[in-house]
Amino acid sequence: MKNLTRTLLATALAAAMPLTLHAQTGQPALPMAEGEVRKVDLDNKKLTLRHGEIKNLDMPSMTMVFQVKDAAMLGKIKAGDKIRFSAEKIDGAFTVTSIEAAK
């Protein structure tokens, strides 16, 4: 019985681990999506993107508004820029968590 308890505990810990890491680092290995900047709204920390498929959000290509995790991310981009970005749903809002210039 002791072994069973230990196995169950280990399984529970293993299952909880990815979520814990995810919450702590905010750096999960998210796939990058293609995007083109349509509008930068620094005051509201919002970004309008025309984006390609976002696999981790199961979202097809479209134009939509995202929250951004950090307003500083908006300082280096402007409308018309081609970017690659990662996004996830945070507190119910689609949020851009990283941006890099498209090659």
Summarize as ranges the residues that interact with Cu ion (CB under 5 A).
Answer: 59, 62, 64
**What are the structure tokens assigned to 99, written together?**
């941006």
**What are the structure tokens assigned to 35, written together?**
């995007």
Residue number, nearest CB to Cu ion: 64
Helix ranges, 1-103 (H): 2-25
CB of 22 to Cu ion, least distance (A): 21
What count of residues does the chain have? 103
DSSP 30: P
Our measurement of the distance from residue 13's CA atom to the centroid of its chain's CA atoms, rounded to an integer in Å, reads 24
Which lies closer to Cu ion via its Cβ, residue 30 or residue 64? 64
Which lies closer to Cu ion via its Cβ, residue 10 or residue 62? 62
CB of 87 to Cu ion, least distance (A): 8
CB of 66 to Cu ion, least distance (A): 8
